[in-house]
Structure 1
């Protein structure tokens, strides 16, 4: 039996619903909603994000919003490769990405990787993918590393104007 049967322990719940935390309040979640949206169905995309936050809260037992920010920060690339023809050969030129471009690329990679997962629910797939990034065993991280590796190999071409 409990020591205080009339008193209940207050456990913080991080169950987010469309009412509790509208995703449009947060700029990163707003960006993610717009990338997930298909055929103009923004309400469905917002519901997916709210459910994703709920799944992450259930799996980690902590506030999922900082975890989402950390996962996106880990997945952000700092450069992209652009092809440039000079003479008879094509060269790969590394181009730096600004903050918005790298965030968008990271979110698109996360969505792509989550779509390759086997679960039926998109919100659960996204939650598991975000947690996989934080654990360090996601294909998004290997994609980022590959991008940086190619950029380092071709850094001699960085001075070429596009």
Structure 2
């Protein structure tokens, strides 16, 4: 009985301790992406600090994308998050996780136009990323996706 009481107090202490934070932590949604709020915006500066690849007028942290491609080619598990922003400043997240196949998730939950809709988070599994070249740009697309209409959201263009 005494041991159960100690364990109960220890668990209660740990729960209370975990609730004590400095208030600067970023809240995450159901799939682990940062929640963007007026009081705690997920700006491109914060995204870069967190290691995201940020799309805007230029691509920041591009080397992380190339590292992901290299790791994928040699069969090394890896994960990246590509963050872009709507005209209103809401982040759109594209998560790619490689472990033999690519699990691709696009997350529109922070975009007010999609946030309460069932399609605000879409996921598929794909076989590979394919590099396409045209006269001006290098572009990457997902191929061999279980749900290709979801995979078609991913278009990574490098000018």
- Is the shorter-chain TM-score for this pair beyond 0.5, marking a shared fold? no
TM-score (norm 1): 0.27
TM-score (norm 2): 0.28
Q: Which has the higher helix share?
A: 1
Q: Which has the higher strand share?
A: 2
**Higher-RCO chain (CA-CA 8 Å, sequence separation at least 6):** 1
